[in-house]
């Protein structure tokens, strides 16, 4: 593990307009910590404070991050507050009904400008000194403005705007990189697997029931990676839940427990896994009976209905995950190397009758809600991994991601590369991309002057 200075000491033109010492942005070379070809991962990537700080700079400050769902905004002034990495942001609809996002920090003394989770407003006013900003982020009111120097201009103190905000079939993402590749280009083949959940209904989707939030002890990558790649844990970790949910109470039949399936892996870290056994679908009976599978096959194709629409799991790199079976979409917000704050929504098709939507909501809560029978198992596993990762000897023992090495291929049925369902292929791809991003200087580390958040082109 080696360190390098990410930028010279004289300036960091993108993040701040004041010079910073190089030691504040020293980066770690993680190349030797991820052996994606050999399937070995150094577990220090989950616990090292310097690696975590580098993730905030090089992963979260340059990736497309999930912000909200379009159904959370219906009129100008509607807003929702969330995080991009550990940076707080306000997502709002402006007067032109465009979705915008701003750093949730007053430009005066840096207090969090909006402390409400969601709501509607005409102006964001800081509770500290009263600076007020409109829906376009422009500073409109400064108490005692006459006390400021003559060259003080309110237009110079607008909120810092997230330069790239885009949506894909109802999901809103933001990216701090002014020159980021378009969202759909970044998603690539992952769109096919997302469509199996997002494009079932010509009317689209909506979120219901608010946002569920809970904390877990563990590193954000443990959760994101599992949702990208890991079906292997299901029969062991969720054995009791599978017994409860099976018709006989004795668990699934052997042919279902050893279900066939595929695992998608993307070169930019996305991943999805899904069984293809016809009896692996275990969504709510009301939801199952509601769907017209013949119509869905015509809309999505046979392969999508038999695969990604079933009981699957997926992650859009770095930290957005979803479960098609119960409409759970979630973000793994990093809160330090050892803590995750989970934010989860319940996603339903707009055309569903209210009783079917409610069945989906209840099924979601029973399975993957904060106290769901599956969710509790997963959280315990991640917390157990993290709890011992600080040990001197433990921290030096590599982790095994070798299942399915060499099985990746273009299978002719599903877009992109896929592997067997029981495989670590998407996990290896997730960490390969993570390592590449971590070792590649980000847009804000370029010493040449470029357009930056808040700049006027």
Question: What mean pLDDT is predicted for residues 170-179?
Answer: 97
Query: Inter-axis angle of helices 375-387 and 220-229, to 10 degrees?
Result: 130
Residue 25 has pLDDT above 80, yes or no: no
Q: What percent of the chain has pLDDT over 70?
A: 88
216 is written with which tokens?
């877990």
Domains, the chain, ranges and CATH? Answer: 65-167 (2.102.10.10), 190-438 (3.90.380.10)
Q: Cβ(14)–Cβ(450) under 8 Å?
A: yes
Note the pLDDT tens digit of each residue in 108-118.
999 999 999 99
Backbone angles phi, psi at 357, to 5 degrees: -60, -40
Residue 169 neighbours by CB distance under 10 Å: 13
* Catalytic residue selected from 230, 283, 349, 424: 230
Per the prediction, the chain carries an average pLDDT of: 90
Going by pLDDT thresholds of 50, 70 and 90, the confidence category of residue 310 is: confident
Note the pLDDT tens digit of each residue in 212-240.
999 999 999 999 999 999 987 887 777 77
Question: What mean pLDDT is predicted for residues 101-112?
Answer: 97
Going by pLDDT thresholds of 50, 70 and 90, the confidence category of residue 20 is: confident
Q: For residue 189, what pLDDT is reported?
A: 97
Quote the CA–CA distance of 129 and 348 in Å, as a whole number: 42
Backbone angles phi, psi at 66, to 5 degrees: -65, 135
**Bridge-partner residues for 273, per DSSP?**
263, 313
Note the pLDDT tens digit of each residue in 208-218.
999 999 999 99
First-to-final CA distance of the chain: 39
Going by pLDDT thresholds of 50, 70 and 90, the confidence category of residue 12 is: very low
* Catalytic residue selected from 29, 117, 156, 233: 233
Q: For residue 13, what pLDDT is reported?
A: 39
Q: For residue 208, what pLDDT is reported?
A: 97
Question: What mean pLDDT is predicted for residues 366-379?
Answer: 87
Look at residues 111, 109, 64 and name the one whose alpha carbon lies nearest to residue 85: 64
Look at residues 297, 274, 228, 315 and name the one whose alpha carbon lies nearest to residue 414: 274
Q: Is the pTM of this model over 0.75?
A: yes
Active site residue 201: no
Note the pLDDT tens digit of each residue in 49-99.
999 999 999 999 999 999 999 999 999 999 999 999 999 999 999 999 999
Residue ranges of E strands in 220-327: 261-265, 271-275, 313-316, 320-323
Q: For residue 449, what pLDDT is reported?
A: 43
Q: What percent of the chain has pLDDT over 90?
A: 74
Question: What mean pLDDT is predicted for residues 155-168?
Answer: 97
Active site residue 238: yes
Q: Is 118 exposed, middle or buried (0-12, 13-18, 19+ CB in 10 A)?
A: middle
Q: For residue 457, what pLDDT is reported?
A: 35
Give residues with Cβ within 8 angstroms of 422, minimum separation 6: 231, 232, 403, 404
Going by pLDDT thresholds of 50, 70 and 90, the confidence category of residue 453 is: low
Residue 247 has pLDDT above 50, yes or no: yes
* Catalytic residue selected from 42, 195, 283, 378: 378
Q: For residue 238, what pLDDT is reported?
A: 72
Going by pLDDT thresholds of 50, 70 and 90, the confidence category of residue 245 is: low
Question: What mean pLDDT is predicted for residues 405-425?
Answer: 95
Active site residue 433: no
* Catalytic residue selected from 177, 195, 199, 238: 238
Going by pLDDT thresholds of 50, 70 and 90, the confidence category of residue 255 is: low
Residue 451 has pLDDT above 60, yes or no: no
Q: Cβ(419)–Cβ(404) under 8 Å?
A: yes
Active site residue 378: yes
Question: What mean pLDDT is predicted for residues 288-311?
Answer: 90
Going by pLDDT thresholds of 50, 70 and 90, the confidence category of residue 282 is: low
Which residue shows structure tokens 């110079």? 156
Q: For residue 450, what pLDDT is reported?
A: 43
Backbone angles phi, psi at 342, to 5 degrees: -90, 130
Question: What mean pLDDT is predicted for residues 278-298?
Answer: 83
* Catalytic residue selected from 129, 255, 288, 302: 129
């Amino acid at each position: 593990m080696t360190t390098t200075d990410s930028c010279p000491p004289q300036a960091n033109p993108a993040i701040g307009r004041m010079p910073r010492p190089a030691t504040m942005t020293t980066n770690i070379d993680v190349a030797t910590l991820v052996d994606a070809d050999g399937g070995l991962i150094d577990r220090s990537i989950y616990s090292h404070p310097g690696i975590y700080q580098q993730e905030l700079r090089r992963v979260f400050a340059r990736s497309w991050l999930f912000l909200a769902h379009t159904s959370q905004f219906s009129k100008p002034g509607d807003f929702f507050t969330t995080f991009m990495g550990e940076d707080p942001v306000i997502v709002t609809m402006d007067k032109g009904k465009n979705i915008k996002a701003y750093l949730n920090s007053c430009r005066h003394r840096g207090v969090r400008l909006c402390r409400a989770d969601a709501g509607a407003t005409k102006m964001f006013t800081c509770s500290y000194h009263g600076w007020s900003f409109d829906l376009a982020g422009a500073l409109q009111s400064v108490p005692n403005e006459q006390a400021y120097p003559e060259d003080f201009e309110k237009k110079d103190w607008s909120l810092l705007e997230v330069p790239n905000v885009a949506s894909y079939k109802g999901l809103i993402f933001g990216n701090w990189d002014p020159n980021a590749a378009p969202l759909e280009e970044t998603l690539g083949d992952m769109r096919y697997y997302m469509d199996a959940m997002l494009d079932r209904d010509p009317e689209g989707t909506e979120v219901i029931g608010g946002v569920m939030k809970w904390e877990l002890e563990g590193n954000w990558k443990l959760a994101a990676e599992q949702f990208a790649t890991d079906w292997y844990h299901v029969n062991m970790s969720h054995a009791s839940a599978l017994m409860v949910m099976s018709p006989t109470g004795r668990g699934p039949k052997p042919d279902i427990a050893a279900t066939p399936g595929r695992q998608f892996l993307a070169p930019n870290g996305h991943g999805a896994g899904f069984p293809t056994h016809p009896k692996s679908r275990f969504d709510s009976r009301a939801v199952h009976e509601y769907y017209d599978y013949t119509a869905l096959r015509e809309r999505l194709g046979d392969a999508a209905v038999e695969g990604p629409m079933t009981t699957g799991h997926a992650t859009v790199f770095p930290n957005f995950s979803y479960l098609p079976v119960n409409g759970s979409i979630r973000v793994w917000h990093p809160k330090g190397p050892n803590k995750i704050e989970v934010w989860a929504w319940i996603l339903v098709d707009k055309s569903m009758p209210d009783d079917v939507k409610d069945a989906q909501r209840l099924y979601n809560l029973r399975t993957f809600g904060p106290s769901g029978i599956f969710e509790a198992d997963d959280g315990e596993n991640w917390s157990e991994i993290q709890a011992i990762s600080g040990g001197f000897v433990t921290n030096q023992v590599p982790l095994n991601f070798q299942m399915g090495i060499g099985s990746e291929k273009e299978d002719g049925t599903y877009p992109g590369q896929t592997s067997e369902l029981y495989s670590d292929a998407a996990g290896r791809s997730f960490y390969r991309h993570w390592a590449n991003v971590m070792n590649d200087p980000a847009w804000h580390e370029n010493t040449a002057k470029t357009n930056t958040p808040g700049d006027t082109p």
